């Protein structure tokens, strides 16, 4: 029997196998990358104000940034493999955990720094995480703001068996479907990896078309809108037509908005499909075939019955992936109860089998 995490740290039993599709790991400090950086960058970091990526997708000390007890003595939450084993992998009986590192490479405007720090972070992930626990897989980080360089990094480490996904922040300078990003998609397809569009991003431009929000609360609540714009771009620009085997995971952005979004997307496609003749199917069909969503954090309706209605409206029982979002915390974590109450065989699919098939584990 395994257990699910709740907001207060208690556990709810489950008999399901567990594949965790979103576990966060953090570079403890820039010094940890010294063994993997070119010597001139080590000297530069030691002697100058530049200390690597300084932006963060999550405010320090905010409740959602870390659950109680997840911060080690010598680093930020998510920087300790020992705590990850103790608090997540072992008690939940996790079969496979997919690591996402939100080290903000996309915030670096010096292209040489972006390339070298991405390389160093991936080498650090291999040496300090993937090679130390066979249950771990990871998303590689890439300089998404430099698509050709991102493609080179995918080619460099894309065949490493520990990497199953490419980390793409939801906020980007240009929409991900834009032909500017074509080299990135070609490399993801070439190595048969998953494109992981994940909450966050620090490209330097506002998160909303209308400009900068006043509060992080607005940015956090509105991130689903950002992801919707990315899915609009990817479908409309024909990424799934160009790459018929492409797989995209949307992480940490909810999923209960998907039915209403696809209804509108389909309606407008019927009205305007002559403008995008290469889009051969209704957008909802592309999304059901090519996109998966992690369940945490869950934007839950007030009752379990309504929750099951939303899942039915997705039109597929293969679209949801269990994720703990470790070490992040949320004031309310209804996904623990929701996950336990799922009927079979849907429960088995969400807990593990959807992710097993999606990531070809």
d(CA 138, CA 20): 11
The confidence score (pLDDT) of residue 147 equals: 98
Range of the domain at 44: 2-358
Other CB atoms closer than 10 Å to residue 91's CB: what's the count? 14
The confidence score (pLDDT) of residue 5 equals: 55
Pairing mode of beta strands 94-101, 18-25: parallel
**Omega before residue 297 within 30° of 0, cis:** yes
The confidence score (pLDDT) of residue 105 equals: 96
Phi-psi region of 52 (alpha: psi -120 to 50; beta: other; left: phi over 0): left
Q: How confident is the model at residue 337 (pLDDT cuts 50, 70, 90)?
A: low
The pLDDT tens digits for 142-194 are 999 999 999 999 999 999 999 999 999 999 999 999 999 999 999 999 999 99
88 against 4, higher pLDDT = 88
The pLDDT tens digits for 119-145 are 999 999 999 999 999 999 999 999 999
Distance of CA 230 to the CA centre of its chain: 13
The pLDDT tens digits for 185-230 are 999 999 999 999 999 999 998 888 888 999 888 888 888 999 999 9
272 against 300, higher pLDDT = 272
Q: How confident is the model at residue 8 (pLDDT cuts 50, 70, 90)?
A: very low
| pLDDT surpassing 70 at residue 22 | yes
Q: How confident is the model at residue 336 (pLDDT cuts 50, 70, 90)?
A: low
The confidence score (pLDDT) of residue 7 equals: 41
Is residue 106 within 8 Å of 203, Cβ to Cβ? yes
Q: How confident is the model at residue 340 (pLDDT cuts 50, 70, 90)?
A: confident
Share of the chain above pLDDT 70, in %: 93
Is residue 214 within 8 Å of 221, Cβ to Cβ? no
| pLDDT surpassing 50 at residue 9 | no
Residues 155-181 as b or e (16 or more Cβ within 10 Å = b): eebbeeebbbbbbbbbbbeebbbeeeb
Q: Is 342 exposed, middle or buried (0-12, 13-18, 19+ CB in 10 A)?
A: buried
Mean pLDDT of the chain: 91
Rounded to 10 deg, the angle between the 147-157 and 111-128 helix axes is 20
Nearest to residue 361, comparing CAs of 128, 185, 135, 64?
A: 135
The pLDDT tens digits for 67-101 are 888 888 888 889 999 999 999 999 999 999 999 99
Q: How confident is the model at residue 312 (pLDDT cuts 50, 70, 90)?
A: very high
User: Domain count of the chain?
Assistant: 1
Full-model pTM: 0.93
The confidence score (pLDDT) of residue 331 equals: 57
CATH of the domain at 142: 3.20.20.140
Backbone φ and ψ for 295, nearest 5 degrees, come out as -85, -10
The confidence score (pLDDT) of residue 208 equals: 84
| pLDDT surpassing 60 at residue 310 | yes
């Amino acid at each position: 029997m395994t257990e699910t995490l709740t907001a207060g740290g208690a556990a709810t039993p489950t008999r399901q196998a567990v594949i965790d599709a979103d576990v966060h790991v953090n570079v403890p400090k820039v010094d940890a990358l010294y063994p993997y950086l070119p010597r001139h960058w080590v000297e530069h970091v030691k002697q100058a104000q530049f200390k690597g990526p300084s932006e963060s997708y999550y405010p320090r000390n905010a409740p959602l940034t870390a659950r109680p007890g997840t911060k080690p003595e010598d680093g930020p939450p998510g920087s300790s493999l020992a705590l990850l084993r103790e608090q997540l992998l072992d008690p939940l009986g996790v079969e496979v955990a997919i690591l996402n590192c939100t080290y903000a490479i996309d915030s670096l405007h010096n292209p040489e720094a972006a390339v070298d720090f991405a390389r160093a972070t991936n080498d650090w992930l291999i040496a300090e995480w993937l090679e130390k626990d066979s249950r771990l897989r990871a998303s590689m980080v890439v300089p998404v703001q430099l698509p050709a360089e991102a493609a080179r990094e995918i080619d460099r480490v894309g065949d490493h068996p520990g990497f199953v996904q490419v980390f793409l922040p939801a906020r980007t300078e240009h929409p991900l479907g834009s032909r500017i990003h074509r080299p990135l998609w070609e490399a993801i397809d070439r190595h048969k990896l998953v494109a992981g569009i994940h909450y966050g991003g620090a490209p330097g431009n506002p998160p909303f078309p209308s400009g900068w929000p006043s509060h992080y609360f607005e940015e956090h609540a509105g991130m689903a809108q950002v992801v919707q714009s990315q899915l609009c771009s990817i479908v409309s620009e024909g990424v799934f037509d160009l790459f018929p085997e492409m797989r995209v995971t949307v992480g940490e952005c909810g999923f209960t908005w998907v039915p209403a979004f696809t209804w509108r997307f389909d309606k407008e496609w019927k009205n305007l499909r002559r403008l995008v003749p290469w889009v051969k199917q209704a957008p909802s069909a592309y999304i059901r075939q090519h996109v998966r969503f992690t369940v945490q954090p869950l934007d839950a309706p007030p009752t379990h019955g309504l929750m099951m209605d939303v899942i039915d409206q997705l039109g597929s029982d293969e679209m949801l992936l269990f994720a703990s979002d470790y070490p992040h915390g949320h004031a309310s974590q209804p996904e623990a109860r929701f996950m336990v109450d799922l009927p079979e065989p849907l429960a088995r699919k969400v807990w593990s089998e959807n992710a097993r098939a999606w990531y070809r584990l």
